[in-house]
Amino acid sequence: MNRLTILLVGVAAWCGAWSQTWDRGLAPGVTFRMEVQADPARTLYGIRVAPGSWSAESHLAKDKVYDETPYKGRDIVSKMVASSGAVAGINGDFFQWGQDPGGDPEGLHVRAGELLSAPAAGANRDHALVWREGRAPAIEQHRWRATARLGDREVAVQGLNQRVGANRTVLFTDASGSLYGDAGPMACVVVKADAPYRLKPKDTLTGKVVAVLPEVTKMPVRYGTFVVAASGERREALLGAKVGETATVEVDVSGSDWSLMDHAMGGGPVLLRSGENVVNAANDPRHPRSAVGVTADGEVWYVVVDGRQTVSVGASLKELADLMKAWGCVEAFNLDGGGSSALHAYGLTLNRPSGGIERYVANGILLYG
């Protein structure tokens, strides 16, 4: 299936005086849509998935959050789709930027029940899409709480599998691949877990301390271990740990019934609630955008709006919410946009990324038929 087949073979419908829409069936219960608007110049692409057709999974770009490949754990959406056996996909959450960014998503990421990234803080980033495989996602707000107990000492943990910033304490699981920071040397307590594990959103890890390292800038995290790392003034709390003592980390991501959910994907802000535009952005310029929306009938839209181009100026967040509503959504959620926005199906990137090529991103939502 090529670009002309998808875009030109189908039903073309005029939607008012200033836009034209093409719909094309991709599979039973699955429709591709392209809409071209003239005022302002804007092009939208979307895949609508009916209940019981394609299933969705949250997908980390690589096997580990951080690796030693040139893009440090990130990948492009088309390669994620091809390497996983999916039929389609869209880019996911925002991710850390700057020197040596790695593949850590900014917000919550749960993959098949395994917690890979903690929820972000702040009103625009503390929500996530959550779903059980084969069902439409919900949009829920989450809070992170984690505590490490090293012998008789208790330490608050601020993050998970992420670059260690100034005066931060972070838990690294063996899904991280490596730990690293950008705020000077870290103190690290390396723990051999009592058993192989996959960290869940509500979980307790227990093991024995096998090393206490006073000055680390970067190190691998081996299978079957977990590491508590701290920078700045928080280093002292870890340096009192002793080899051979018991270490426990309790993790609690509140906000969802995790017995009912398999996947989570962060982003934000929320665009639509019960059909109402809930965007409250003081500075709301137009950019390329990606979003996921759910209709009243439980259909799911995966949508990209091209931007930063003469033929497509992009959308503000408020405009994006209205566009999702016009396509029938009653709930909608913003994902990473700009140069990250990419929608891929059947070996073809359907939109035109603003940078001319796909950006290497931390994660995505993949669709399986």
177-234 pLDDT per residue, tens = 999 998 999 999 999 999 999 999 999 999 999 999 999 999 999 999 999 999 999 9
175 plus 58 within the same structural domain: no
Domain end, chosen from 213, 239, 254, is at: 254
102 plus 170 within the same structural domain: no
153 plus 131 within the same structural domain: no
33-88 pLDDT per residue, tens = 999 999 999 999 999 999 999 999 999 999 999 998 899 999 999 999 999 999 99
Which amino acid is it at 167? N
The token duo for 235 is: 């280093």
162 plus 242 within the same structural domain: yes
262 plus 174 within the same structural domain: no
276-303 pLDDT per residue, tens = 999 998 889 999 999 999 999 999 999 9
Can you spell out the DSSP letters for 155-182?
EE--EESS-B-TT-EEEE-TTS-EEEBS
8 plus 59 within the same structural domain: yes
Domain encompassing residue 186: 144-254
Question: pTM of the full predicted structure?
Answer: 0.95
Give CA–CA dist 141/49, Å, rounded.
24
The CB density around residue 354, as the number of other CB atoms within 10 Å, is 20
* Number of domains forming the structure of the chain: 2
pLDDT at 162 over 90: yes
Domain of 163: which CATH number?
Answer: 2.60.120
**The pLDDT of residue 122:** 85
61 plus 42 within the same structural domain: yes
Domain end, chosen from 225, 254, 283, is at: 254
Backbone angle region of 282, left / alpha / beta, with phi > 0 → left and psi within -120 to 50 → alpha: alpha
